[in-house]
Chain A
Amino acid sequence: MTALLSVSDVAIRFAGPARPAVDGVSLDLRAGEMFGLVGESGSGKSTLANAVLGLLPASATVTGSIRLEGRELLGLPEEELRAIRGDAAAMIFQDASASLDPTWPVGDQIAETIRAHRPVSRREAERRALELMAEVGIPDPARRFRDAPHRFSGGMRQRIVIAAALANDPRLLIADEPTTALDVTIQAQVLQLIDRLRREHGTTVLLITHDLGVVAQACDRVGVMRGGRLLEVVATADLFAKPSHPYTRALLAANPATAPRGSRLPVIPPEWSVEALDG
């Protein structure tokens, strides 16, 4: 099977700290799969995701190779990256509610994505935006088109953001903790929505999360990151059935949902601390 996104030996350093934020990560995403990237805060998963679309601050240096459908993205000029963002590859952020401009009607923000990439009229873009709002399950989209983001609930805003991300039918969708800011029932709805849209449109999804429940529910394969390194990549079923890497085993053991009731949760052993990884 061909890789849609191919990350090989990527290292990302920031101007200040000596430790790289991402250290020699290689990873292939198969077309159409939902790939989960899990890890603790600071494990480098979001940094890696931002690097794919060239959205890291200028203080970051990225080495290695990131290919989307065979095309090298690293070192691409800003204008060519801009043409890819929101078109071939789209991204949803940690706090998707905050990624909508508070002063703008939501419909216009979806239409903006379309008009950034397609030479369509305003009217045509708005018509398409309305369709997208309906597709992600916004009730009465025609009436809500001109509403500002603050008039929507968190879950509805998330749907708007997903609609904007999928406006140009991207081949790759990077979802950076898309459900973290939502409560559990809405989380499930949003995950189901992403999963449904991915199946209908054949989109490949890179789902970044620290929630193993989310992984179990939605992903085909999982990569486990720790201290900027990718420790292992396994099929989701295998992750829970027979975790091979000791850090993964420790991580799973620390999950309150699976630990024996009333017992103390085990702590991540010190040999998997960031300091130990350095040594």
Chain B
Amino acid sequence: MTTLGLPAAPRRAPRPRRPGRLILLGLLALLLLAAAAAAAPWLAPWDPEEMDVIGVMGPPSAAHPFGSDVMGRDVLSRVLFALRASLLVSTSAVLLSLLVAIPLGLVAGYFGRWVDGAISRALDMILVLPAMLLAITFIAILGPGSTVAALAIAVIYLPILARVMRTGALVVTRNDYVLGARARGASHLRVLLTHVLPNALGPVIVQASILAAFALQLEAGLSFLGLGVQPPTPSLGSMLADGRDVLTQAPWVEIFPGLAIVAAVLAFTVLGEGLRQAFDPEGVAE
């Protein structure tokens, strides 16, 4: 920021950190995946639900680059459409969770005392339940489907994100500029929105991008169990479940959806790690 010709301050970490590169790499990979998923109807060479009795479990070929599955459906087309469902469920789950977690954590961290007590204890009650069990309970009550899966994941992440927000708000609220803004006559709401939120949001964004990776895995797990996206709509998890039975005869049915999950999870994680190094060097989000 200064343009003085002074030597750079000595680095604290022995290894130079390049958060910019990680963020760029993660974003690029994610955009690529998202673009492929969004353009699935045009990119996919076949209808993902169209069966071909003759081409059952065909190996990768020019017509079916990723091969075809037990029902003769094109694996590439199915992976593209499944990626669409997976990314949609995982990102909307995290966004939905953020929508509730940010105000809750902000209010708890800022006001403290009984407000914090009430909100934090309520969130702890969600936190004590194992994530998968909670999701399955949700689905048992509301029935399976991608919307319910997204909702369940959002509920699971609510206490985690709210906690990170609360910690951030707690730290920022102790700063003199918050008291200063109050002394200048700013209302609680204004102080919260204009001074506390922007200064405390970094770790939450970091945590959200890391959780998006786990959300994708959770969704895949639910669909693998048949609790997420319902057939015949393809999903990465249910494709893994289908391919498991024919792993020795037609490994491509299993490998390609698996690779898609790895790629998407990796993209979110790399982005999250880059953001963490850039916005949360002290590790509040962990």
A93 touches B176 (CB 8 A): yes
Give complex CA distance A89, B185 in Å. 10
- Whether a CB of chain A sits under 8 angstroms from the CB of B65 is no
Contact of A87 among B180, B185, B187, B198 (CB under 8 A): B185
A58-B113, A116-B190 are known contacts. Are A100 and B185 too (CB-CB below 8 A)?
no
CB distance from B3 to the nearest CB of A (A): 12
A85 touches B113 (CB 8 A): no
- Whether a CB of chain B sits under 8 angstroms from the CB of A99 is yes
Quick one: closest B residue to A94, CB to CB?
B176
Quick one: closest A residue to B114, CB to CB?
A58
- Whether a CB of chain A sits under 8 angstroms from the CB of B195 is yes
Which residues of A sit under 8 angstroms from B195, Cβ to Cβ? 101, 104
B177 touches A102 (CB 8 A): yes
Which residues of A sit under 8 angstroms from B181, Cβ to Cβ? 101, 109, 112
A93 touches B179 (CB 8 A): yes
- Whether a CB of chain B sits under 8 angstroms from the CB of A13 is no
Quick one: closest B residue to A113, CB to CB?
B184
Give the total of A residues in contact with B, Cβ under 8 Å: 36
B176 touches A95 (CB 8 A): yes
A98 touches B176 (CB 8 A): yes
The interface size bin for chain B is 20 to 34
Which residues of B sit under 8 angstroms from A277, Cβ to Cβ? none
Quick one: closest A residue to B190, CB to CB?
A116
Number of A-B contacts (CB under 8 A): 79
Produce 1/0 per residue, A239-276, CB < 8 A to B.
00000000000000000000000000000000000000
CB distance from A203 to the nearest CB of B (A): 15
- Whether a CB of chain A sits under 8 angstroms from the CB of B182 is yes
A101-B195, A102-B199, A103-B199 are known contacts. Are A90 and B183 too (CB-CB below 8 A)?
yes
Give complex CA distance A82, B195 in Å. 16
CB distance from B108 to the nearest CB of A (A): 15
Give complex CA distance A99, B176 in Å. 5
A116 touches B176 (CB 8 A): no
- Whether a CB of chain B sits under 8 angstroms from the CB of A227 is no
CB distance from A146 to the nearest CB of B (A): 14
Give complex CA distance A103, B193 in Å. 13
Give complex CA distance A112, B177 in Å. 13
Produce 1/0 per residue, A52-70, CB < 8 A to B.
0101001000000000000
Give complex CA distance A103, B172 in Å. 12
Contact of A116 among B175, B185, B198 (CB under 8 A): B185
**Which secondary structure dominates chain B's binding surface?**
helix
Which residues of B sit under 8 angstroms from A104, Cβ to Cβ? 194-195
B176 touches A85 (CB 8 A): no
B176 touches A112 (CB 8 A): no
A116 touches B177 (CB 8 A): no
Which residues of A sit under 8 angstroms from B185, Cβ to Cβ? 82-87, 113, 116-117, 168
B199 touches A112 (CB 8 A): no
A101-B199, A102-B199 are known contacts. Are A116 and B179 too (CB-CB below 8 A)?
no
Produce 1/0 per residue, A102-120, CB < 8 A to B.
1110000100110011000
Of the candidates B176, B180, B185, the one having the most CB atoms from chain A within 10 angstroms of its own CB is B185
- Whether a CB of chain B sits under 8 angstroms from the CB of A219 is no
- Whether a CB of chain A sits under 8 angstroms from the CB of B24 is no
CB distance from A144 to the nearest CB of B (A): 15
B179 touches A112 (CB 8 A): no
- Whether a CB of chain B sits under 8 angstroms from the CB of A165 is yes
B183 touches A86 (CB 8 A): yes
A53 touches B183 (CB 8 A): yes
B180 touches A93 (CB 8 A): yes
Contact of B180 among A82, A100, A103, A117 (CB under 8 A): A100
Which residues of B sit under 8 angstroms from A109, Cβ to Cβ? 181, 184
Quick one: closest B residue to A97, CB to CB?
B176
- Whether a CB of chain A sits under 8 angstroms from the CB of B118 is no
- Whether a CB of chain B sits under 8 angstroms from the CB of A91 is yes
- Whether a CB of chain B sits under 8 angstroms from the CB of A51 is no
Quick one: closest B residue to A149, CB to CB?
B177
Which residues of A sit under 8 angstroms from B113, Cβ to Cβ? 58
Of the candidates B113, B179, B183, B199, the one having the most CB atoms from chain A within 10 angstroms of its own CB is B183
A-B contact pairs, 23 of them (CB 8 A): A53-B183, A55-B182, A82-B182, A82-B185, A83-B185, A84-B185, A85-B185, A86-B184, A86-B186, A91-B183, A98-B175, A99-B179, A99-B180, A102-B199, A103-B198, A104-B194, A112-B186, A113-B185, A116-B186, A117-B185, A151-B1, A164-B180, A167-B184
Given contacts A79-B187, A100-B180, A112-B190, 10 further A-B contacts (CB under 8 A): A55-B182, A93-B180, A99-B179, A101-B195, A102-B199, A103-B198, A109-B184, A113-B186, A117-B185, A161-B180
